[in-house]
Amino acid sequence: MSAERILVRGTPVQAGVIGAYLASRWLAAGRALELAIDPEDNTAAPFVTRPSIHRLHGEIGLPTDQLFARCGGSPVLAAEAQTADGSSVQLPFSAFGVPRGGLEFHQYWLRASRLSEQADLTEFSLSLALQNAAHKPPLAQLAQLPVEFGIAFDRAAYGNALLSFAKAGGASVVESGNEQEQDADLVIQCSPDAGAPKWHGQELTIALESDIPGLEWHHLSSAARRFASLAAPLSNCAPEQAEWTRLAVAENERVADMRELLSINDPLASSRPALQRKAEVFVACGRIPTEDYEVFTPPEWLAALWARGVRPRRSDRMAERLPDAQLLDWLDQLRGQIASLTRQVQAA
């Protein structure tokens, strides 16, 4: 078998994510992985990961709790993004309230709010309550709660930890400028200015976006995982290249939908068909249709639509199965439970 060599270019955390994954899932005898690090990472913001971090760490055997402790970790239960009017919106990773009888909670909320005045929908999110609490619960406790969470790391510390992991897995790490570009069979470029992601010929470009916390992580981890899941000889992989690009572009379209929702003045006037579909169906009946290869979860879409003032005309008829008094009681109880859980977690 002829040797194959991949060169990854990026900042420590960018090359670290790709490098750690490929070292664990792709590197083997006859293959080389070189990480060319651009040490000039001037980003001060922490490196925010989404809940998929737990799966990724599990897949490659990275100890999340140790990294959490060593790399200044802090749990993230919702991503905070900016909207057109300059305000910010929190996009929670877990559902509002709890679903009942196969129906999402917000449908019950919509109905209840027609019966009597209700606290805002966002008050029924355990994710948001915990995210906004003065102290975040420890990891072990969070894992017991019905919430999804990512982790915000100190960028440099996490990047270096991942680079060490990649190195231990057989990757070589060099400072940018010292790499051997000529004989790389594939150059993976982590680029914030790339426009669209693409794998073509000997170059795979990951188009990094970071305007919504967690996106940079998503693009990197999903690029690496997808590349590995389409593993083929690098000299003979045209169908895999096309598939990688198709999926990455599809995901980027979904991100562009979210960006437009947050930034456009009238979300219902969007010219993006998938966003228009989401907004229209949400207004019509409170459902949020999804596309293939979504990046954001339904609660994130719900929070974004809500924050932009998009409201359903009506609630789902299935919510009417619950008698009025029972519905109102249930909502009260839920709020109480969220508040007491948040208090307990704070006290612990």
Partner 1 sequence: MGANEGKQAINRVVVVGGGTAGWMTAAGLASMLGPTGLEITLIESEAIGVVGVGEATLPHIKNFNDTIGVNEAEFMAATSATFKLGIEFVNWGRKGDSYIHPFGEFGLPNAGVAFHQYWRKFAGQPGVGSLDEYSLPVIASRLGKFQPPSEDPRSVMSTYRYAYQFDALQYAPFMRSHAEARGVTRMEGKVVDVALEPESGRVSALTMDDGRVVEGDLFVDCTGFFGLLIEKTLNAGYDDWSEWLPADRAVAVPCESAGPLLPYTRATAHEAGWSWRIPLQHRTGNGHVYSSQFLSDDAACDTLLEGLEGERLADPRFLRFVTGKRRKLWSRNVVAIGLSGGFLEPLESTSIYLIQEGITKLLELFPADQDCDVEVAEYNHWMDLQFERVRDFLILHYHATERDDSDFWNHMRTMTVPDSLAERLELFTAHGHVSAYDHGLFLVPSWVAVLIGQRVLPSSVDARVSRQADAEVLRHLAGLKGHMEKAAGSMEDHAAYLARNNMMRAAA
**Contact call for residue 195 and partner 1 (CB under 8 A):** no
Contacts (CB under 8 A) with partner 1, residues 1-20: 1
Measured CA to CA, the distance from residue 43 to residue 156 in angstroms comes to: 9
Measured CA to CA, the distance from residue 91 to residue 193 in angstroms comes to: 25
CB closer to partner 1, 60 vs 190: 60
CB atoms within 10 A of CB 1: 8
**Contact call for residue 59 and partner 1 (CB under 8 A):** yes
Q: With b meaning 16 or more CB within 10 Å and e meaning fewer, what string describes 91-103? A: bbbbbbbeebeeb
Measured CA to CA, the distance from residue 2 to residue 30 in angstroms comes to: 7
Q: Which of 154, 293, 330, 341 forms a contact with partner 1 (CB under 8 A)?
A: 293
Compose the 230-249 pattern: x for residues touching partner 1 by CB under 8 A, - for all others: xxxx--xxxxx-xx------
Measured CA to CA, the distance from residue 219 to residue 251 in angstroms comes to: 9
Q: Give the nearest distance from C-beta 64 to partner 1 in angstroms.
A: 18
Q: Give the nearest distance from C-beta 320 to partner 1 in angstroms.
A: 4
**Contact call for residue 68 and partner 1 (CB under 8 A):** no
**Contact call for residue 324 and partner 1 (CB under 8 A):** no
Compose the 113-152 pattern: x for residues touching partner 1 by CB under 8 A, - for all others: -x--------------------------------------
CB closer to partner 1, 153 vs 244: 244
Q: Residue 81 carries which DSSP code?
A: E
Give, in order, the Cα–Cα distances in Å from 228 to each of 11, 16, 26.
21, 15, 6
**Contact call for residue 102 and partner 1 (CB under 8 A):** yes
Residue 266 falls in which region: left (phi positive, over 0), alpha (psi -120 to 50) or beta: beta
Choose one: 79-87, 138-146, 225-233, 332-340; the region binding partner 1 (CB under 8 A): 225-233
Q: Which of 84, 98, 256, 283 forms a contact with partner 1 (CB under 8 A)?
A: 283
CB closer to partner 1, 253 vs 280: 280
Closest CA to 75 of 96, 59, 54, 56: 54
Q: Give the nearest distance from C-beta 229 to partner 1 in angstroms.
A: 7
Rg (CA), the chain: 22
Kindly report the three-state secondary structure assignment for every residue of 322-348: CCHHHHHHHHHHHHHHHHHHHHHHHHC
Q: Give the nearest distance from C-beta 198 to partner 1 in angstroms.
A: 17
Residues in contact with partner 1 by the rule CB under 8 A? 1, 25-26, 28, 59, 102, 114, 228-233, 236-240, 242-243, 277, 280-281, 283-285, 287, 289-294, 313-314, 316-318, 320-321
